[in-house]
Amino acid sequence: MKLAMPLTYFGNPRDTADQVVGLEKAGLDQLWVAEPYGFDAVSLLGYLAAKTERVELGAGILNIYSRTPGALLQTAAGLDNVSGGRAILGLGASGPQVIEGFHGVAYDKPLARTREIIGLLRAGLRGERLQSDGLYKIPLPADQGTGLGKPLKLLNRPERADTPIWVAALGDNNVAMTAEVADGWLPFQFLPDKARDVWGDALDKGLAKRSPDLKPLEISAGGLLAITDDPDEAKRHRDTMRGLLALYVGGMGARGKNFYNDMAVKYGFGDAAKKIQDLYLDGHKRDAEAEVPEAWLEAGNLVGPESFVKERIAAFKEAGVTSLQVTPAAGTDGLASIAQVKEWLV
């Protein structure tokens, strides 16, 4: 497995970015930068490309609504160029709250849009002209445009014709599509012990249609990292994840339309998911955090004695994870933890 890390997007991301050189030296293989509704990810990734030499730089993720396919192509090719062929383009539908509430764009047809965009990106990276008869209609039909917009191809020669395209997906149809056409899959809050039960059929369905021209599907997942023999310290670290889980399970969407809440139900935490959502939406965020199951926090993170952390790493690997994402816990020696896990992965 490769060793990966998500870069925090809260506060001033540059403060964390300035630590990346040390993380690269400690053995980090991949760095993922998210783009919810704060600073854009691409500016920061370009900054990181100039500061690093080896680490792969992943946009994790860019949503498929706020940029046209052509803009996404420019972004993928441009980042791959300035990084010397180290870019990974992570895509995702995000959710109605961000797409409609921040970007002011209708949230519709996420699967069809993702599939079409991936096809256009692959064609564009191969140096082909952008053409589509689907949702994006490149060029525009005569009744929608001036008639002057002929199909164009990227002006510059891409660094690689096969810049990796990954997709963040949770729903069965989206996961199946990802397994069929993407280079990698970015699941959220992946529980390795239950992943097969939740996503196994969808993955099998997509992989059965996967082109032999594509490499095996990669998966990046993981959790909080803290190697400690002190059970009280371990619990304190795990408890720091309660707010994030409560936010997504409880607050990312309305009742009946929350992808992350649906996932919690599939994991077997249905009762807790309902309590978390009810409390969160009613404004009782701390009470919602208290309802996050301890079993979820333990199984989804790498926090505890060395033997437990190694067992979790083995579980992620057994579940098909090819890139282990870790987030060193606050107050721990992140560089030392990264170096230690890297040693175990080699």
CA–CA separation, 331 and 277 (whole Å): 30
Hey, what CATH topology would domain 2-225+302-345 get? TIM Barrel (3.20.20)
CA–CA separation, 247 and 270 (whole Å): 16
Q: Does the pLDDT at position 346 exceed 90?
A: no
Residue type, 100: E
CA-based nearest residue to 169, from 159, 178, 157: 178
273-301 tens-digit pLDDT: 999 999 999 999 999 999 999 999 999 99
Q: Does the pLDDT at position 253 exceed 90?
A: no
Judge residue 68's burial from the number of C-beta atoms within 10 Å of its C-beta, 0-12 exposed, 13-18 middle, 19 or more buried: middle
Q: Does the pLDDT at position 147 exceed 90?
A: no
Instruction: List alpha helices for the chain, DSSP H.
Output: 13-17, 20-26, 41-51, 69-82, 96-101, 110-125, 172-181, 192-208, 231-239, 242-246, 259-266, 270-281, 285-290, 294-299, 306-318, 334-345
Residue whose pair of structure tokens reads 């191969």 in the numeric block: 126
Q: Which pLDDT band holds residue 18 (cuts at 50, 70, 90)?
A: confident
What average pLDDT does the segment 75-92 reach? 98
Please tell me whether the overall predicted TM-score, pTM, comes out greater than 0.85 for this model: yes
Q: Does the pLDDT at position 10 exceed 80?
A: no
Percent of the chain residues past pLDDT 90, beyond the cut: 89
